[in-house]
């Protein structure tokens, strides 16, 4: 089994210790558009034969960076054979238990073992101590091999573990995948529909573990497959041919329920407008800002860490972003500032301001300090939450709402103008 470990130090940003993986396969658009690797993500692919590869992100660490932000670990693994499979299954049992119960908790065996091993040497290893870093990776692998199977109380988790075991040991000569993607919390979600629309018939199905970050329950897994209306010229016995006629009563009612859900969505559009996930690609400079802001929307909203007046929050934001950002006054549009919070990101410092409207609705303004202070872009509609994203004088900014509201685009433009007037 091969293991690659990614983390960061106090002075050095996130990087793989020692050698990097030969292929960053988990960053393909199929996965990347459905998750943020700063939050718990698990992707397992069983390749042809008995080979497999796995990527896991956001394993919590008790270590902190220079601005006291929690540090994370990510793992890339690959292997083949029964012994490698058993090691992987044991490791996944621990990680699923962490992600299911408390993804941010540092009180778990994996975190303690990794922190103990990495210790205070990480900055030295990330700078130029390649051989020492590789020795550390060998020890990480040994830790995983020696893990004792976790005693799991939940019957559903046990069943899920059994499904993973069957998947890895299947003798079918095809690719199968399992994924915990933190934009997908349930089957009936825009992110799930988009993922399904991107799948090719030859790719088979993905067993989705609903992400707690998106309000899901890991135990309630479900399958996603390529959309069934794909035309093909292959023969009738080809595994890539899809017959739209329901195979049985279960498939029929599943199809019917999706059709009803689709009609309900149409009625919502007619009634007042709904925020539809769209597959259009954002400009390259906006996609990372949108991804981090969307994660903050799902995980950090409602967790105000600072309350006070505009002047206090401006000083507070200066400490986080390295430049004073005055929260814009949106009172003329009916929104009052309620506070702010620090947002944990992988690359840049960020914070988020919260506003409440006259009708009790909430607006979140995400602000991230980018390296290029001269960068500015136009306003773009976000793809997975009701909101707009743009870059303004080196600040990545997103305005997001709890639910679709009228004239959100006008409010975002007004906010952009106010921030420009303030000299940001």
The answer to whether position 245 is within a domain reads no
- Give the pLDDT score at 388: 94
**77 plus 220 within the same structural domain:** yes
For residues 179 and 302, membership in a common domain is answered with no
Look at residue 137 and tell me if it is in a domain: yes
Residue 13 lies in a domain: yes
Residues 127 and 25 in one domain: yes
183 shares a domain with 35 = yes
Which of the pair, 235 or 419, is modelled with greater confidence? 419
242 pLDDT band, cuts 50/70/90, is very low
- What integer pLDDT is reported at residue 54 of this predicted model? 94
The answer on pLDDT for 14 being more than 70 is: yes
64 in the same domain as 169: yes
Q: Which of 276, 117, 133, 267 is nearest to 191 (CA)?
A: 276
* Choice among 210-219, 271-280, 385-394 with the minimum mean pLDDT: 271-280
* Residue 220 · residue 304 · CB < 8 Å: no
For tokens 């956001």, name the residue.
58
How far apart are alpha carbons 172 and 254 in whole angstroms? 26
Q: Of 27-36, 265-274, 371-380, which one has max mean pLDDT?
A: 27-36
* pLDDT, position 172: 60
Residue 337, pLDDT above cutoff 70: yes
Percent of the chain predicted with pLDDT > 70:
76
Residue 232 has pLDDT above 80, yes or no: no
Q: What is the mean pLDDT of the chain?
A: 77
pLDDT of res. 254: 42
Residue 55: per-residue pLDDT: 96
- On whether both 205 and 319 belong to a single domain, the answer is no
Cα separations in angstroms, 373 against 12, 336, 368: 22, 28, 11
Residue 321 has pLDDT above 80, yes or no: yes
DSSP state of 173: S
Considering the domain architecture, whether residues 300 and 218 belong to the same structural domain is answered as no
Q: At what angle do helices 82-101 and 155-169 cross, to 10 degrees?
A: 150
Best-predicted range by mean pLDDT (18-27, 54-63, 130-139): 54-63
Residue 274 confidence (pLDDT) above 50: no
Q: What is the pLDDT of residue 398?
A: 95
Element (H, E) at 170: none
Q: Are residues 332 and 206 in the same domain?
A: no
Residue 148 in 3-state DSSP?
coil
Distance CA 423, CA 369 (A): 15
- Whether 173 maps to a domain, the answer reads yes
For residue 27, the model assigns a pLDDT of 87
Q: Is the pLDDT of residue 309 over 50?
A: yes
Average pLDDT over residues 67-84: 86
Res 77: pLDDT: 93
173-187, 246-260, 409-423: least confidently modelled range: 246-260
Radius of gyration over every alpha carbon of the chain, rounded to an integer in angstroms: 23
Residue of higher predicted confidence among 193 and 173: 193
- The neighbour count for residue 151, using CB atoms within 10 Å, is 8
Among 80-84, 131-135, 154-158, which is the least confidently predicted range? Answer: 154-158
Q: Domain boundary residue among 209, 224, 239?
A: 224
Domain residues for the domain of 369 are 287-421
Q: Is the pLDDT of residue 183 over 70?
A: yes
User: Of the residues 185, 200, 224, which one is the last residue of a structural domain?
Assistant: 224
Give the confidence band of 89 by pLDDT, cuts at 50, 70, 90.
confident
Q: Is residue 136 part of a domain?
A: yes
Whether residue 217 is found in the same domain as residue 344: no
**What CATH number does residue 336 fall under?**
3.30.200.100
pLDDT band at 153 (very low <50, low <70, confident <90, very high): low
**How far apart are the C-alpha atoms of 373 and 352, rounded to whole Å?**
19
Long-range contacts: 218-225, Cβ < 8 Å, 24+?
218/96, 218/99, 218/100, 218/157, 218/160, 218/180, 219/100, 219/154, 219/156, 219/157, 219/160, 220/156, 220/186, 221/160, 221/163, 222/187, 224/187, 224/192, 224/195, 224/196, 224/199, 225/196, 225/199
Q: Indicate if the pLDDT at residue 345 is higher than 50.
A: yes
Domain count, the chain: 2
User: Does 190 fall in a domain?
Assistant: yes
Q: With 70 as the cut, is the pLDDT of residue 51 above it? A: yes
pLDDT at 233: 34
Strands (E), 315-386: 335-343, 350-357, 362-369, 380-381
25 in the same domain as 172: yes
pLDDT for 76 beyond 90: yes
pLDDT of residue 276: 39
Confirm whether 235 is domain-assigned: no
Asked if residue 176 is part of any domain, the answer here is yes
* 215 & 332 share domain: no
At 286, give phi and psi (nearest 5°): -95, -30
pLDDT of residue 282: 67
Tell me the per-residue pLDDT of 245-267, one tens digit each, with 9 for 90 and over. Answer: 334 433 333 433 443 344 333 33
* Closest residue by Cα to residue 211 from 186, 189, 182, 190: 182
What is the four-CA torsion angle of 370, 371, 375, 380, rounded to 10 degrees? -30
Which of these three, 224, 251, 268, is where a domain ends?
224
Predicted TM-score (pTM) of the model is: 0.56
């Amino acid at each position: 089994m091969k293991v690659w470990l990614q983390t960061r130090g106090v002075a050095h940003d996130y990087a793989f210790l020692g050698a990097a993986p030969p292929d960053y396969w988990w960053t393909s658009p199929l996965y990347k558009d459905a998750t943020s690797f700063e939050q718990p993500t698990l992707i397992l692919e069983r390749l042809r034969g008995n080979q497999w590869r796995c990527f896991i992100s956001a394993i919590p660490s008790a270590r902190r960076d220079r601005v006291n932000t929690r540090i994370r670990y990510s793992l890339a693994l690959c292997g083949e054979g029964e012994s490698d499979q058993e090691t992987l299954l044991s490791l996944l049992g621990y990680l699923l238990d962490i992600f299911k119960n408390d993804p941010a908790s540092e009180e778990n065996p994996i975190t303690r073992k990794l922190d103990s091993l990495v210790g205070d040497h990480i900055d030295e290893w990330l700078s130029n101590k390649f051989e020492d870093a590789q020795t550390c990776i060998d020890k990480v692998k040994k830790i995983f091999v020696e893990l004792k199977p976790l005693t799991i109380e939940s019957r559903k988790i046990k069943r899920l573990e059994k499904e993973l075991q069957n998947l890895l040991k299947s003798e079918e000569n095809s690719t199968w995948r399992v994924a915990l993607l933190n934009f997908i919390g349930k089957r009936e979600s825009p992110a799930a529909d988009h993922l399904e629309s991107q799948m090719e018939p030859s790719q088979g199905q993905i067993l989705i573990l609903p992400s707690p970050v998106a309000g899901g329950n890991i135990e309630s897994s479900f399958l996603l497959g390529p959309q069934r209306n794909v035309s093909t010229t292959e023969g009738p016995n080809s595994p890539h041919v899809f017959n739209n006629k329901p195979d049985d009563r279960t498939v029929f009612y599943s199809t019917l329920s999706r059709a009803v859900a689709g009609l309900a969505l149409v009625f919502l559009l007619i009634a007042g407008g709904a925020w539809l996930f769209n597959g259009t690609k954002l400009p390259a400079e906006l996609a990372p800002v949108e991804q981090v802001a969307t994660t903050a929307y799902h995980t950090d909203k409602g967790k105000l860490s600072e309350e006070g007046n505009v002047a206090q929050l401006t000083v507070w934001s200066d400490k986080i972003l390295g430049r004073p950002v005055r929260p814009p006054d949106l009172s003329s549009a009916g929104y009052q500032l309620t506070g702010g919070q620090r947002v944990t990101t992988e690359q840049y410092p960020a914070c988020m301001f919260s506003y409440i409207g006259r009708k009790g609705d909430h607006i979140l303004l995400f602000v991230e300090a980018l390296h290029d202070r001269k960068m500015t872009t136009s306003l773009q509609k976000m793809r997975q939450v009701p909101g707009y994203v743009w870059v303004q004088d080196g600040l990545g900014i997103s305005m997001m709402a709890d639910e679709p509201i009228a004239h959100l685009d006008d409010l975002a433009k007004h906010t952009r103008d106010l921030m420009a007037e303030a000299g940001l």
